[in-house]
Amino acid sequence: MPARRRIRFQRWFSPWLLVVPALLWLAVFSLWPAINTGVLSFTNVRTLTGGEFVGLTNYAQMFQDPQLRDAIVNTVLYMLVCLPLLVFLPLLLALLVERQLPFITFFRTVLYFPVIASAVVVALIWQWLLDERGVVNGLAQQLNLTHAAVPFLTDRWLLLFSAIGLTVWKGVGYYMIIYLSALGNVRQELHEAAAVDGAGLIRRFWTVTVPGVRGTMVLVAVLISVNAMRIFTELYILGGSTGGVGGQDVSVVMLIQGAGSGANGQLGYASALSVLLFVITVGPMIALARLNRSADQ
């Protein structure tokens, strides 16, 4: 084979050598499980036994499940509360820690430390702190702020917002790092020009900083929305496997885990719940993408 033809052949063939392993990995571990989940959602298959096609029976059962309504309310509320907190709070912290202040490296490390800690370990620590005999209740009673223990882990809404607080505390450092990289692309000349025109700190934040990192804010909002829709560890550890007292603090992922686990798990019903989770997760992503597109126009 002539050298020129061999080089042309290698140029055509070499990229596929790099792409094919990734495509195979994607097909085996992402595409095929997604397709199989959709197929199983129309069957009554269980963990150790086969099943048969049942049509929309799983979906009819799903929308009659009272726990699913609680799970959707909890999941949507989780997202609506986490979204503004984890979009703007890390940005404000990034603006603070990017300044050359004394001990700023120490504060960066402290803010990022919860990110590298295990979610299970952090949730167990919060469970110990918020227990009726925990540190928070003990300190509150010692300071006469309350005469009875606050039911952080037994009241439906207090448990939900305690889990939200845990998610915010653990995630704020991660998104702060993302914003720090984005703030480096905001031209300092724009801040100086706005200051010359008489713009104060708050006005410069809304007219210079926010437009400069808008794309990053959309990315962060999408990540937060997806993670909030898939919430599991925080509620599972703080409220237990049943989802708190009465099972009212469950998430959709907890319902999937409960339905599909065990030797007699209902894999068909769990697959139908997974399809529903996919649909409600894609919705906020599409909405945020359209908002970003309209803002660009």
For 256-281, write each residue's pLDDT tens digit.
Answer: 998 888 777 888 999 999 999 998 88
At 266, phi and psi to the nearest 5?
-90, 85
CB 288 within 8 A of CB 225: yes
Give whole-number Cα distances, 64 to 60, 70, 238, in Å.
7, 12, 27
Residues carrying CATH 1.10.3720.10, the chain = 56-296
Q: In the structure, what pLDDT confidence band is assigned to residue 47 with cuts at 50, 70 and 90?
A: confident
User: For residues 135 and 73, what is the distance between their CA atoms, to the nearest angstrom?
Assistant: 30
User: For residues 65 and 258, what is the distance between their CA atoms, to the nearest angstrom?
Assistant: 13
- Best CA proximity match to 209, nearest among 230, 232, 191, 235: 191
Task: Report residue 33 as tokens.
Answer: 């499980």
Most confidently modeled range among 11-20, 103-112, 121-130:
121-130
User: For residues 12 and 9, what is the distance between their CA atoms, to the nearest angstrom?
Assistant: 5
Question: How much is the pLDDT for 8?
Answer: 54
Question: How much is the pLDDT for 5?
Answer: 53
Q: Return the percentage of the chain with pLDDT > 70, whole number.
A: 94
108-130 average pLDDT score: 88
For 8-36, what is each residue's pLDDT tens digit?
555 666 777 888 888 899 999 889 999 99
The domain 56-296 is classified under which CATH number: 1.25.40.10, 1.10.1200.10, 3.30.70.2190, 1.10.3720.10? 1.10.3720.10
Q: For the chain, what is the mean pLDDT?
A: 85
